[in-house]
């Protein structure tokens, strides 16, 4: 394990790890704080390690997952609208500020970035992680949550995958049509929510097919994430559906009855794999 400290993130890029498969670079962005880049032969993850391992951008095979367009390598800008961030609760602030320890580890052909921190409100321990495999354009986003309190802890967890909105994209999934049937009037909604996916498959697999043969995938266990959310974006006169976001509960369940509870002293783990096929 290579433990990283805030003082290693200077204004000039510092290569903190290199081998035949990976290069890891640390620097500080004036407006965004500490930044790490995790690079393999296919591309780069740009991560905000002390903000819950938020992925600022992911660029693989010459395209940015955040914009859906060819990478521009704009450099050090303000890290807003990241391609992925995740939290067990709708309020992100405590998690984003809660990382006290950051470390790197190479496990075979996989580079892992770990974070760890204890939060006071709610009282719990969170351990996010990212995994990037050599020669792969897919990566894993993980979270381990331990309830340090005696009373149950509600989990309202969404893995926000903010892929670029591609107008002519085609969506495919290993699910029957009823699993994705929208609730109510689609024209009035800003978010589409699936049925409980655990009723259909153990492992959900969603594809977004773009032009020039580009294909993106998101996979997750439906025992961990029961639902798939699909935000709707207005572009001119078009309402476009975005790529799936795994979630533990439905925003349309009355009274929050579907919110999962984590018992006192208990631990749960979550994992999403996503990227370019």
Q: State whether 142 and 246 are in the same domain.
A: no
Residue 276 falls within a domain, yes or no?
yes
* pLDDT tens over the chain, length 277 residues: 999 999 999 999 999 999 999 999 999 987 668 999 999 999 999 999 998 898 988 999 999 898 655 554 444 444 345 666 665 665 555 555 568 899 999 999 999 999 999 888 788 999 999 999 999 999 999 999 999 999 999 888 899 998 988 888 999 999 999 999 877 666 677 889 999 999 999 999 999 998 878 899 999 999 999 999 998 888 888 888 899 999 998 887 765 556 789 999 999 999 999 999 9
Which pLDDT value is given to residue 80? 42
Q: State whether 73 and 194 are in the same domain.
A: no
Residue 26 falls within a domain, yes or no?
yes
Domain harbouring 148, CATH code: 2.70.98.10
Q: Is 93 helix (H, G, I), strand (E, B) or coil?
A: helix
Q: Which two tokens stand for residue 122?
A: 């709610």
Residue 52 falls within a domain, yes or no?
yes
Total number of domains in the chain: 2
Q: In terms of C-beta density within 10 A (0-12 exposed, 13-18 middle, 19 or more buried), how is residue 251 classed?
A: middle
Residues found in the chain: 277
Q: State whether 202 and 106 are in the same domain.
A: no
Q: State whether 172 and 96 are in the same domain.
A: no
> Do the beta carbons of residue 122 and residue 98 sit within 8 Å?
no
Which pLDDT value is given to residue 78? 41
Q: State whether 269 and 237 are in the same domain.
A: no
Residue 143 falls within a domain, yes or no?
yes
Q: State whether 109 and 245 are in the same domain.
A: no
Q: State whether 28 and 112 are in the same domain.
A: yes
Handedness of CA 76, 80, 83, 86 (dihedral sign): positive
Q: State whether 39 and 100 are in the same domain.
A: yes
Q: State whether 28 and 138 are in the same domain.
A: yes
Q: State whether 26 and 89 are in the same domain.
A: yes
Which pLDDT value is given to residue 93? 54
Residue 225 falls within a domain, yes or no?
yes
User: How far is residue 169's CA from residue 210's CA, in Å, rounded to a whole number?
Assistant: 5
Q: What is the DSSP letter of 240?
A: E
Whether the link from the prior residue into 165 is cis, omega within 30° of 0, is no
User: Tokens 């320890």 label which residue?
Assistant: 101
User: How far is residue 262's CA from residue 257's CA, in Å, rounded to a whole number?
Assistant: 14
Q: State whether 83 and 200 are in the same domain.
A: no
pTM of the model: 0.90
The contacts found for 232-241 with CB under 8 angstroms, 24 or more apart, are 232/186, 232/189, 232/190, 232/191, 232/192, 233/165, 235/165, 235/167, 238/167, 239/187, 240/165, 240/167, 241/171, 241/192
Residue 223 falls within a domain, yes or no?
yes
Residue 161 falls within a domain, yes or no?
no
For 95, phi and psi rounded to 5 degrees?
Answer: -70, -45
Q: Which two tokens stand for residue 225?
A: 């994430």
The residue range of the domain holding 237 is 166-251
Which pLDDT value is given to residue 42? 98
Q: State whether 111 and 178 are in the same domain.
A: no
Which pLDDT value is given to residue 73? 46
Residue 79 falls within a domain, yes or no?
yes
Which pLDDT value is given to residue 167? 82
């Amino acid at each position: 394990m290579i433990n990283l400290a805030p003082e290693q993130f200077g204004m000039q890029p510092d290569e903190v790890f290199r081998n035949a498969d990976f290069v890891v670079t640390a620097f500080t962005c004036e407006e965004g704080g500490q930044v790490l880049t995790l690079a393999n032969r296919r591309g780069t993850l740009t991560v905000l390690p002390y903000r819950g391992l938020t992925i600022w951008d992911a660029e693989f095979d010459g395209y940015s997952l955040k914009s859906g367009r060819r990478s521009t390598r704009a450099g050090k800008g303000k890290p807003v609208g990241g391609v992925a961030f995740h939290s067990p609760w709708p309020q992100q602030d405590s998690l984003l500020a809660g990382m006290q320890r950051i470390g790197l580890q190479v496990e075979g052909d996989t580079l892992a970035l770990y974070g760890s921190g204890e939060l006071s409100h709610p009282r719990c321990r969170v351990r996010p992680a990212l995994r990037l495999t050599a020669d792969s354009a897919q990566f894993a986003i993980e979270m381990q949550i331990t309830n340090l309190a005696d009373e149950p802890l509600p989990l309202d967890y969404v893995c926000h995958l903010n892929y670029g909105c591609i107008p002519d994209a085609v969506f495919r999934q290993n699910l029957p049509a009823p699993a994705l049937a929208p609730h109510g009037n689609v024209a009035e909604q800003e978010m589409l929510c699936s049925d409980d996916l655990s009723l259909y498959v153990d492992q959900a697999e969603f594809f977004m097919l773009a032009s020039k043969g580009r294909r993106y995938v998101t996979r997750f266990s439906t025992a961990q994430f029961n639902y798939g959310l699909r935000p709707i974006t207005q572009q001119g006169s078009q309402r476009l559906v975005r790529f799936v976001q795994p979630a533990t509960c439905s925003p349309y369940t009355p009274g929050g009855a579907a919110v999962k509870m984590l018992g006192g002293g208990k631990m749960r783990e979550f994992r999403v794999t996503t990227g370019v096929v």
